[in-house]
Structure 1
Amino acid sequence: MSATGVVEAASARGAPAGPWWWSRRRSMALDVGLAAASAAECAAEGVGFAHDAGIPTLLGVLLGVLVGSTLVLRRRWAIAVVLISIAITPAEMGLLLGVVGLYTLAASEVPRRITAVLAGMAGSGTLIITMIRFQQDIKKDGWEPGVWVVPLVSVVMALGVTAPPVLLGLYVRARRRLVESLRERADGLERELSLLADRAEERAEWARNEERTRIAREMHDVVAHRVSLMVVHAAALQAVALKDPEKASKNAALVGDMGRQALTELRQMLGVLRSEDGQRSVGAAAPPAAPEERRVPLAAVAVAASAAAQASAAAAREAEALGGPTLAELEALVGQSRATGMTVDLSMEGEERRYASRVEQTAYRVVQEALTNVHKHAPGASARVRVAHRADEVAVLVENGPSERGAADAGLPSGGNGLVGMRERVATLGGGFVSGPTEAGGFRVSAVIPDRAADGDPEPVDPGAEQFRNAERAQSA
């Protein structure tokens, strides 16, 4: 590291490197100019020094030029330049060399105690030489001033030569450190904002994926159940159309009611999606920032991405809360399956109470999807729906026997997402979900859904031990 630390500081700021130890060509030109002026000054003062010392004038001039030219090294070896200026103080030359050298030393990264020692040596040398020369001049002129005049003039001269450059150099050094500190803090803040923006974008992407999954799950629940019942009723309508017109008319009315219900739920979902798209389009209407303004919008990017993630989560909660089914509608849901000829036994245990809307919607969807699977995969089988109201949770059990028609499948299309969607719904709320065949040849779906929050996001749940305990409870429910 150089004595001044200017080269390193400039390189750290990305300044173009100059020749040798200079960070910029402008700095080299300044130092060369100062060195030339110092050499000229010392050369002129070298004439008087040669006369007083009794040496050839040319030697005194050459010595002055050599000493003054050392100022060109002030950024590289500031201590050496100051020591040279102190060494030539008895020769009464090098005023510019001493002043600029002290300023450079004080502004450099040299420890302050070294700067103080060298400044004291320079001031002491100037003080002593001034006192000696002043007394000699007084004796030559025959002037007899007061005793205090010589010390006062000498002190003023010494302080005037050493104090201003040292104080100015210390000020420049402190200011440079402050600027570098502020720049480092700004760079660190920019990096932190960039990381925050990246994390917020990841959260927004995760929220978008969750929203797409939720929409797909809702579409599946709405379409699969309603359309499955419509297909079953349509098949019954086709079978009895000619034999029993009255029953055929009743089945046709049921098909129409189910179709209207499906359209109503789809309209509600599409209305929520349109409102979300409108909010996104308003947020995306702002023009992109110019390249030179890239540093400033990082905070806005982080805040916007975080707001997008929160808006997506809020939209999901809004979609869950608007027009969602509740446990009070289970009777109507079971009645739709009974209308198709399925035997469904609905039983409620415990004292009925209200749960958070998301809890009731999840319990309703579990029963809905389980009955849909019975229509698809066990036509003609009887089913049992059991709902247990508890203090801080609700337990749901849907179990069906084997198909009485001897058919393993009703021929309805299935994407294999029903059980996955039920498990995701229950796991989102921190509950347990179990499904599988029974010993009698049927199928069982069981879920335990905790009621941890009211109409809000559930508290964080350990996905390991907590869900394992809930799964065991669901299996035994």
Structure 2
Amino acid sequence: MSHQILLLGSWWRARDVLVRDTMFAVAMVALTLAPGAAHLGVAIGDLPVRQLDGWGVVLVGLLSVPLVLRRRNPAWCLTLVSGGFGAYELVGYIPTFATLGVYPALYAAGAYLERRRAWTAVSVTIGYFLLAVGLSHRGSPQHLGDYLVFFLALAACWVIGDLTRTQRCAEVARQQESVAVAMTQERARIARELLDITAQHVTAMVVQADAAQCLVSEAPNRVTVGLSAISESGRRALTDLRDLLAVMPAPELAVDRAPSPTLSQLAELVASTRAAGQPVELVEEGAPQRSSDGAELTAYWVAQESLANALKHAPGRRTVVGVHHLAEEVCIEVTTAPGPSGTGRRPAGTHGRGLMGCSERVSLYGGHLSARQLLDGTFQIRATIPRRM
């Protein structure tokens, strides 16, 4: 039964506002015509009862049909329903269910009216005062206290609607704030990505260019190799930047996205770094297994950033890229051999922005990254990334 109620509630919320309000007004008319509920209404004047005639039927329609507009145009809905209610009471027609329409009309005005809310509230108050004066003039036995109690009931409908509107506005404000925070965080993430990608490739290009300058005098025949490595680093930088722009939400920044690099391309990365003058070896253990695209790309970036660090902080030192293919995860381990004390080694425990960005990406996929200097002076960067699909 509860499941059916939930389904009915979901179906009701999925309908258009006008459809729901129309069904509400139809229900008011149906209950007004139903024998058991027809005389359940509001009567505040206690005037001699007058049976419905043609004008009475028109006023009954005025009390219920305008509820179709209670959310689309709450001001007109309240004007028509309250006007019909005042006329119905002054004539003294028999109580009917349609007179209860004044309550949802007031609630809707409090909840959905956007402009001239204070003016509307004052107008309704003045209208009720004039109705009370008119009923007294027609001989109503009600006293001031009776009119005050009924006025408080009407005011409660407005106040409840106003509280609903306040909560709704607060929720919208919270959602907008959440969106703004998310956009700020995304901009910061994109900025870090741009910095990481640019820093990695520019560092490699600078080291390769310095090596090429040395080769001009020592081994001119190898200058072409160095220039090719610089060109390859530049192309890879452009590819990575296109990949980043391709996932940005702005349509005007959309570009044709090249396939993201994967672990299968590590051999090319190692060869490119070796061509820049860094002695690099690639060691793989275990059989390669399918991983999610994000895990593959993250593993590749860890290796790329680690090699860029080796080129920058330990040029010419033997570097080993180890890839361990495990059942549930992939492990990337890059070690750089120690050099003479104080020659270009990064102090232990210090991490650049590139490694910080890699650490954040690895954490995003539930992995862990560590960068440390071992007891023998070897600098090791190790990342473990789950293969989850």
TM-score over 0.5 for the pair:
yes
Does the 8 Å CA contact 2:321/2:334 hold for their aligned counterparts? yes
Residue 380 of structure 1 deviates from its aligned partner by: 2.1
Inter-partner Cα distance in structure 1 for 2:211 and 2:185: 39
Inter-partner Cα distance in structure 1 for 2:362 and 2:211: 34
CA 32–248 in structure 1, closer or farther in 2 if over 3 Å, else same? closer
Does the 8 Å CA contact 2:225/2:275 hold for their aligned counterparts? no
SS at match of 2:282: strand
Match runs of 1:319-398 below 5 Å: 323-398=259-334
Cα deviation digits, residues 206-226 of structure 1 (max 9, x gap): 432343243234323432222
Alignment counterpart, residue 223 of structure 1, candidates 181, 192, 198: 198
Higher relative contact order (CA 8 A, sep 6+): 2
Instruction: Name whichever of 222-231 and 428-437 sits farther off.
Output: 222-231
Instruction: Look up the equivalent residue of 1:76 and give its one-letter code.
Output: L
Residue 237 of structure 1 deviates from its aligned partner by: 1.7
Instruction: Look up the equivalent residue of 1:387 and give its one-letter code.
Output: V
SS at match of 1:342: coil
Alignment TM-score, normalising by the size of structure 2 = 0.59
Instruction: Look up the equivalent residue of 1:333 and give its one-letter code.
Output: L
Cα deviation digits, residues 414-464 of structure 1 (max 9, x gap): 993012111101111111222221111232111111123x2xxxxxxxxxx
Residue number in structure 2 paired with 1:266: 241
SS at match of 1:334: helix
Alignment TM-score, normalising by the size of structure 1 = 0.49
Residue 357 of structure 1 deviates from its aligned partner by: 0.3
Inter-partner Cα distance in structure 1 for 2:212 and 2:236: 19
- The alignment-based identity, stated in percent, is 32
Residue number in structure 2 paired with 1:240: 215
SS at match of 2:217: coil
Residue number in structure 1 paired with 2:225: 250
Inter-partner Cα distance in structure 1 for 2:191 and 2:324: 29
Alignment counterpart, residue 204 of structure 1, candidates 179, 182, 189: 179
Residue number in structure 1 paired with 2:14: none
Is structure 2 residue 157 aligned with structure 1 residue 180?
A: yes
Inter-partner Cα distance in structure 1 for 2:161 and 2:135: 35
Does the 8 Å CA contact 1:381/1:404 hold for their aligned counterparts? no
Aligned length in residues: 276
Inter-partner Cα distance in structure 1 for 2:229 and 2:328: 37
CA 271–389 in structure 1, closer or farther in 2 if over 3 Å, else same? closer
Instruction: Look up the equivalent residue of 2:380 and give its one-letter code.
Output: R
CA 108–209 in structure 1, closer or farther in 2 if over 3 Å, else same? closer
Match runs of 1:102-141 below 5 Å: 108=150
Q: Which has the larger radius of gyration?
A: 1
Cα deviation digits, residues 144-199 of structure 1 (max 9, x gap): xxxxxxxxxxxxxxxxxxxxxxxxxxxxx9xx69x939x836852x4454344334
Residue 406 of structure 1 deviates from its aligned partner by: 5.6
Inter-partner Cα distance in structure 1 for 2:208 and 2:341: 17
Residue number in structure 2 paired with 1:431: 367
SS at match of 1:348: strand
CA 30–367 in structure 1, closer or farther in 2 if over 3 Å, else same? closer
Inter-partner Cα distance in structure 1 for 2:174 and 2:335: 44
Does the 8 Å CA contact 2:331/2:385 hold for their aligned counterparts? yes
Q: Structure 2: where are the runs of 5+ without partners?
A: 1-43, 45-102, 111-117
Instruction: Look up the equivalent residue of 1:278 and give its one-letter code.
Output: P
Alignment counterpart, residue 74 of structure 1, candidates 130, 142, 145: 142
Inter-partner Cα distance in structure 2 for 1:235 and 1:37: 104
Does the 8 Å CA contact 1:230/1:258 hold for their aligned counterparts? yes
Instruction: Look up the equivalent residue of 2:308 and give its one-letter code.
Output: T
SS at match of 1:77: helix
The alignment yields a C-alpha RMSD, in angstroms, of: 4.1
CA 404–329 in structure 1, closer or farther in 2 if over 3 Å, else same? farther
Does the 8 Å CA contact 1:431/1:449 hold for their aligned counterparts? yes
Inter-partner Cα distance in structure 2 for 1:17 and 1:216: 54
SS at match of 1:346: strand
CA 185–323 in structure 1, closer or farther in 2 if over 3 Å, else same? farther
CA 37–373 in structure 1, closer or farther in 2 if over 3 Å, else same? closer
Inter-partner Cα distance in structure 1 for 2:247 and 2:137: 79
Instruction: Look up the equivalent residue of 1:277 and give its one-letter code.
Output: A
SS at match of 2:380: strand
Residue 17 of structure 1 deviates from its aligned partner by: 6.7
Instruction: Look up the equivalent residue of 1:208 and give its one-letter code.
Output: M
